[in-house]
């Protein structure tokens, strides 16, 4: 398996990087202290988008001076991309909501397109902001935001926790799927149970969006998110359109679906369409996960069954056959059943968030006629239809092969 690029700084990465690191820290401070106010002013009509562009231009020009002609360590390039991505995407949003085509904001910034293209190449990362720069690599001590809102900071925290939990689950199941642990061993069962526990925690993190704090306000107001996501509009860089930061692109979630086996061809196409939005190391991780046997494959191999056998056999026949493998193997089936159910519950809550925070909130805004959204509410940030997202949710809750295995096994 390809190892992740370290986020720690080695001597080689730091060599000669002092000036660049100082620029990064100054730029991040500017984003934290200034960008949210500029966005408020533009949306209130007190600042024109081209005036905002003039305030962003010095940061682009200085970054260009530091980058031009230099080969960069990937993590240094990523850190430079981070504070540039926020204002450039925000500028794109404001021009889009003023009726201008995609790419207008970027074109207003001299040298910005070349800069993003070069940084993306050096960073092994999309040439703009992403779920990495906005969420996974964003410090909660001094988070970069578009709005300055505690709700945006709450969202960053939720994405980071989800990433960490899915990562633990992925690493645990990897030992089983790579063959280091026999599927019916106590250690494999414990790995599956750990993934189940973590998945239920993610489910509860999703539920916490609806919860109210000490002030009586929800952690995420129903109409906040549909506006917040408009800061991530798609725009082209060197002729290729790149979509904005999307928490749905967390690679461990894609890898987990592959390792669990809760996947069908349509979902694999969905995953493959997002690979270009990942860093090189995450892309390799997901591709590796696609090629490994899943937990479902490991169970069927142990049972000496094919998927077509499972589909063709009667309930009674499958139940009798699984029972022949004894109570120890039934514990594997029970642990896998609990994991798949947890994934289904998690996915159902996520779909509820989409319905309430994107679809219905967007419909209310449309009905009010007060604003035009730079990112329409009728599809996901990567253009995925809400119907496709619902199908993925249903796939995890009622997979055509997996659900049959459980229903038959429990007839014994």
Report the pLDDT value the prediction gives residue 407, as an integer from 0 to 100: 61
Report the pLDDT value the prediction gives residue 2, as an integer from 0 to 100: 34
Identify the CA nearest to 174 among candidates 289, 83, 64, 267: 289
Q: Which two tokens stand for residue 385?
A: 């239809």
Please spell the DSSP secondary structure of 211-254, one letter per residue: -B-TTS-BSS-TTHHHHHGGGS--EEETTEEE----GGG-HHHH
What is the Cβ-side half-sphere exposure of residue 404, based on CA atoms within 13 angstroms?
A: 16
Report the pLDDT value the prediction gives residue 19, as an integer from 0 to 100: 82
The answer to whether the predicted template modeling score (pTM) of the entire model surpasses 0.75 is yes
Residue ranges of domains in the chain: 11-129, 152-409
Report the pLDDT value the prediction gives residue 290, as an integer from 0 to 100: 96
For the domain bounded by 11-129, which CATH number is listed?
1.20.58
Please spell the DSSP secondary structure of 44-113, one letter per residue: TTSS-HHHHHHHHHHHHHHHHHHHTT----HHHHHHHHHHHHHHHHHHHHHHHHTTPPTTHHHHTSTTHH
Count of beta carbons in the 10 Å neighbourhood of residue 205? 17
Identify the CA nearest to 87 among candidates 62, 66, 69, 112: 112
Burial grade of 376 (CB within 10 A; 0-12, 13-18, 19 or more): middle
Distance between CA atoms of residues 21 and 25, nearest Å: 6
Whether residue 395 contacts residue 389, with contact meaning beta carbons closer than 8 Å, is answered with no
Report the pLDDT value the prediction gives residue 371, as an integer from 0 to 100: 67
- Domain pair 11-129 / 152-409, same fold: yes
Identify the CA nearest to 123 among candidates 278, 229, 242: 278
Give the DSSP letter of residue 9. Answer: P
Report the pLDDT value the prediction gives residue 285, as an integer from 0 to 100: 97
* Residue 77, CA distances (Å) to 67, 238, 290 in order: 9, 18, 29
Non-local CB neighbours of 111 within 8 Å, separated by 6+ positions = 60, 61, 64
Identify the CA nearest to 378 among candidates 393, 368, 388: 388
Dihedrals phi, psi of 238, to nearest 5 degrees: 55, 40
Three-state helix/strand/coil letters over 104-150: HHHHCCCCHHHHHHHHHHHHCCCCCCCHHHHHHCCCCCCCCCCCCCH
Report the pLDDT value the prediction gives residue 3, as an integer from 0 to 100: 38
Whether residue 206 contacts residue 180, with contact meaning beta carbons closer than 8 Å, is answered with no
Low-confidence residues of the chain, pLDDT below 50?
Answer: 1-15, 411-412
Q: Which two tokens stand for residue 88?
A: 């450039």
* Residue 111, CA distances (Å) to 25, 28, 67 in order: 21, 20, 11
Q: Which two tokens stand for residue 228?
A: 């917040």
Q: Which two tokens stand for residue 283?
A: 């892309």
Domain range 152-409, CATH architecture: Up-down Bundle (1.20)
């Amino acid at each position: 398996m390809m190892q992740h690029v370290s986020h720690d700084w080695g001597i080689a990465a730091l060599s000669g990087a002092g000036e660049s690191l100082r620029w990064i820290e100054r730029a991040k401070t500017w984003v934290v202290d200034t960008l949210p106010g500029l966005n408020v002013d533009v949306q209130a009509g007190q600042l024109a988008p081209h005036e905002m562009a003039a305030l962003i231009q010095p940061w682009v020009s200085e970054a260009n001076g530091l980058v031009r002609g230099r080969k960069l360590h990937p993590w240094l390039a990523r850190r430079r991309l981070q504070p540039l991505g926020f204002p450039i995407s925000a500028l794109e949003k404001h021009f889009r909501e003023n009726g201008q085509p995609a790419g207008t904001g970027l074109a207003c910034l001299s040298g910005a397109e070349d800069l993003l293209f070069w940084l993306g190449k050096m960073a092994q990362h999309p040439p703009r902001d992403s779920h990495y720069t906005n969420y996974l690599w964003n410090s909660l001590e001094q988070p970069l935001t578009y709005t300055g809102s505690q709700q945006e900071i709450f969202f960053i925290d939720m994405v980071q926790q989800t990433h960490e939990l899915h990562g633990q689950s992925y690493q645990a199941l990897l030992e089983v799927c790579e063959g280091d642990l026999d599927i019916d061993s106590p250690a494999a069962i414990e790995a599956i149970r750990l993934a189940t526990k973590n998945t239920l925690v993610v489910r509860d993190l999703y539920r916490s969006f609806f919860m109210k704090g000490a002030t009586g306000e929800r952690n995420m107001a129903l109409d906040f998110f549909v506006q917040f996501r408009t800061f991530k509009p798609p725009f082209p860089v060197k002729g290729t359109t790149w979509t904005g930061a999307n928490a749905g692109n967390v690679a461990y979630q894609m890898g987990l679906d592959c390792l669990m086996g809760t996947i069908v061809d349509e979902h694999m196409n969905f995953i493959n369409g997002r690979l270009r939005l990942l860093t090189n190391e995450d892309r390799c991780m997901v591709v590796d996960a696609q090629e490994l046997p899943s937990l479902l494959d490991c169970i069927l191999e142990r049972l000496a069954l094919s998927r077509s056998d499972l589909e063709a056999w009667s309930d009674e026949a499958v139940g009798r056959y699984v029972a022949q493998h004894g109570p120890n193997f039934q514990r594997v089936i029970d642990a896998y059943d609990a994991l798949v159910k947890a994934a289904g519950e998690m996915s159902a809550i996520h779909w509820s968030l989409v319905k309430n925070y994107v679809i219905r909130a967007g419909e209310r805004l449309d009905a009010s006629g007060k604003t035009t959204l730079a990112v329409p509410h009728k599809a996901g940030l990567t253009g995925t239809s809400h119907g496709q997202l619902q199908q993925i949710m249903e796939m995890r809750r009622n997979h055509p092969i997996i659900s049959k295995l459980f229903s038959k096994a429990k007839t014994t």
